[in-house]
Structure 1
Amino acid sequence: MSAEAVAQYLQAHPEFFDQYADLLAEIFVPHPHGGRTISLSERQMLTLRDKNKQLERKLAELIAFGEENDAISEKMHRLSVGLIAAETFQAVIHLLNFHLRDDFAIPHVALRLWDKPAGVEDLPEFTAVSEELQVFAETLAKPYCGSTAGFGTASWFGEHAEHIRSQGLIALRNGGGTIGMIALGSEDIQRFYADMGTLYLERLGELVSAALARATHTAL
C-alpha cells in the first residue's frame, strides 16, 4: 500500500482514529529538525507553530505594504495640493521637479512637451522630441518601467545620462491626445523594473496633465 493511498484513506475515514484512539499515543514521527522522534500530537503542535510563523510573516509584509502605500498617498496628496495652487506654467514645472526629487526621492526628472503654447517662454521642457518617441508615448496604455536602452530618453537627463540604469516613462495627455512625457531616472537598476506596480505613476501622469492643461489655458 503506497503512502498516498494511506493518506487518502485517512482523509476519507476520519473516524479511524476514533476507533483506534490509543494508536495516537503510540505513533512517533521524526522531529522536523532532526535528532529525535516525537509523538504525533507534538508533531502537530510544531506544524501549527510553523503555520503561525508563516502567517505572522505574511501579516508583517501586508502591514509594511500598507504603511508604504499610506506614505506614498500622503506624498501624492502634497503634490496635488501644490499643483492646484500653482498659477503659472513655470510654477507647475518647479513644483513637479521639487516634489519628485525631494519628496519622492527620485534623483532625475525630465519633462518633454511636444508644443510650446503662446505666452510661455522657451524652456528645456520644449526641446524637440523625435517623431518615433512621440508615437511611442501615444501607444503607452500605462507607464513604462525598465531600462533606458533603445528609447533615446537617456539624453534627457543631461550629464547624468550615462549613469541612468532604470527609468519610468509616463505619457501626458490632454483630452484624447498625448502632449508630452515625463521621464523618471535612477542609477539603481531595480528602482523602475518591468513588473512593478504603476498605479501611482498613472495618477502622477493624470495630475500633471491636468495641471499643465490648466496652466497652459491661463497662459493663453
Structure 2
Amino acid sequence: MNPSDVVQFLQENPDFFDEHSTLLTDLKVSHPHTGHAISLTERQLIALRDRIAHLEDKFAELLSFGEENDGISAKVHRLTVSLLEAEDFEAIRHVIYLHLQEDFAVPHVAFRVWNSVLTRNGPEFLPVGEEVRFFSGDLMQPYCGTPALREATAWFGPASRLIRSVALVPLRRDEQTFGMLAMGSEDPERFYPEMGTLYVTRIGEMVSAALVRQLG
C-alpha cells in the first residue's frame, strides 16, 4: 500500500477518524516550526492558527488599502470643488498645479492645450509636435511608466533630465484630444505600468471639463 492509496482511502472514507478517534492523538507528526513530534490534533490546531494569522494579515492589508483609497478620494474631491469654483483660466491653471503638487505630492506637473477656441499666454499654449498629438490621441487610458516622449518630458524644464517615471493623461473634448496633462517624478516607482489608473483618469476628465468650460 503506497501513500497515494492511503490518501485515496481517507478521501473515500471521510468518517474514518470518527470511528477511530484515538488515532488523532496516537499519530505523531512533525511540528512545522520546531520539528518536534506532536499529535495530529495539535498539528491541525497549529495549521488553523497559522491560517487565522494569515487572514488577519490580509484583513489588515485590505483596511490599509481602504484607508489609502479614502485619502485619495478626498484629494480628488478637493480638486473637483476647486476646479468648479475657478472662474477663469488662470484660476484653473493655479488649481491644477497647486493640488497636484501640494495635495497629491507630484513633484513635477505640466500640461499643454491645442485646438482650443481661445488661447492664453503661457507655456500651456506653446506648439507641440505631431508625436505628442498622435501619442495622446491613441491613448485608451493614461500612460504610466518610464518617460515615453522626450518632448513631453522637456515640459518639466531643468528637472526633465532627472525624471524617471511619468503619468501622461490625455485631455479630451467629445472624444477628441485637445491636450495632455503630464506628471513626473524622480522616483522610478512613482508611476509604473501596473498601477491603477482610475483616479488619474478621473483627474484628467475633470481637468478637461474645466478647461473646455473656459477655452471652448
**What secondary structure sits across from 1:197 in the alignment?**
coil
**What secondary structure sits across from 2:195 in the alignment?**
coil
- What is the distance in 1 between the residues matched to 2:150 and 2:161? 14
- What is the distance in 2 between the residues matched to 1:3 and 1:124? 74
**What secondary structure sits across from 2:169 in the alignment?**
strand
The verdict on how the C-alpha distance between 1:149 and 1:139 changes in structure 2, with shifts beyond 3 A counting, is: closer
Verify: 1:194 aligned to 2:193, yes or no. yes
- What is the distance in 1 between the residues matched to 2:103 and 2:91? 17
| Bigger mean CA deviation after superposition, 18-27 or 135-144 | 18-27
Checking the alignment, whether the CA contact within 8 Å between 2:147 and 2:153 is kept in structure 1 is yes
Checking the alignment, whether the CA contact within 8 Å between 1:115 and 1:126 is kept in structure 2 is no
State the TM-score, normalized to the length of structure 1. 0.94
- What is the distance in 2 between the residues matched to 1:125 and 1:84? 20
Residue matched to 1:169: 168
Alignment-mate amino acid for residue 20 of structure 2: Y
**What secondary structure sits across from 1:21 in the alignment?**
coil
CA RMSD of aligned residues (A): 1.3
Checking the alignment, whether the CA contact within 8 Å between 1:28 and 1:37 is kept in structure 2 is yes
Residue matched to 1:122: 121
Verify: 1:214 aligned to 2:209, yes or no. no
Q: How many residues are treated as equivalent by the alignment?
A: 216
Alignment-mate amino acid for residue 143 of structure 1: P
How far off is 1:17 after superposition? 0.9
CA deviation string 1:5-41 (max 9, x = no partner): 3223212211111222221121010000134111111
Checking the alignment, whether the CA contact within 8 Å between 1:145 and 1:193 is kept in structure 2 is yes
Instruction: Structure 2: give runs of 5+ residues left out of the alignment.
Output: none
How far off is 1:71 after superposition? 0.3
- What is the distance in 2 between the residues matched to 1:185 and 1:164? 6
- What is the distance in 2 between the residues matched to 1:121 and 1:203? 25
**What secondary structure sits across from 2:206 in the alignment?**
helix
The verdict on how the C-alpha distance between 1:62 and 1:23 changes in structure 2, with shifts beyond 3 A counting, is: same
Alignment-mate amino acid for residue 178 of structure 1: T
Residue matched to 2:92: 92
Identity %: 50
- What is the distance in 1 between the residues matched to 2:140 and 2:196? 14
Mapping 1:96-175, distance limit 5 Å:
96-115=96-115, 117-118=117-118, 120-175=119-174
- What is the distance in 1 between the residues matched to 2:73 and 2:128? 32
State the TM-score, normalized to the length of structure 2. 0.96
- What is the distance in 2 between the residues matched to 1:129 and 1:6? 72
- What is the distance in 2 between the residues matched to 1:126 and 1:171? 15
Checking the alignment, whether the CA contact within 8 Å between 2:165 and 2:184 is kept in structure 1 is yes
- What is the distance in 2 between the residues matched to 1:129 and 1:143? 18
Residue matched to 1:66: 66
